Amino acid sequence: MSDTLERTELREQALLDVPWITIVWNDPINLMSYVSWVFRSYFGFDRAMADRLMLTVHTEGKAVVASGSREEMERHVAAMHGYGLWATLQKEDA
């Protein structure tokens, strides 16, 4: 019994430990310069990092811009929506 409980707790812990990620998706409207500026001003990335992520969004259709707890990723997604970027969150392995 205690064994099962322990295993369940371990499994739940493992689930909680899976990080969440914030994804920004490409769209034909947002200016590349604006997206890069948002990444720098909101996340504090340097220009090289912000430009690389912006280009990944542009060429690959999306980029992971942050990972961490679900609450933290929800704050990032809400902030991105405030800037007009198309952002979603999900579990890293989803």
Q: Give the nearer residue to another protein in terms of CB position, either 3 or 71.
A: 71
Phi, psi of 25 (to 5 degrees): -105, 150
What's the distance, CA 25 to chain centroid? 10
Q: CA-CA distance, 27 to 86, in Å (whole number)? A: 8
CB of 28 to another protein, least distance (A): 4
Give the number of C-alpha atoms closer than 13 A to the C-alpha of residue 28, restricted to the C-beta side.
Answer: 0
Q: Give the nearer residue to another protein in terms of CB position, either 7 or 47.
A: 47
CB of 11 to another protein, least distance (A): 21
Q: Give the nearer residue to another protein in terms of CB position, either 9 or 27.
A: 27
Positions that interact with another protein (CB under 8 A) = 27-31, 33-34, 37, 40, 74, 77-78, 81-84, 86-90, 94
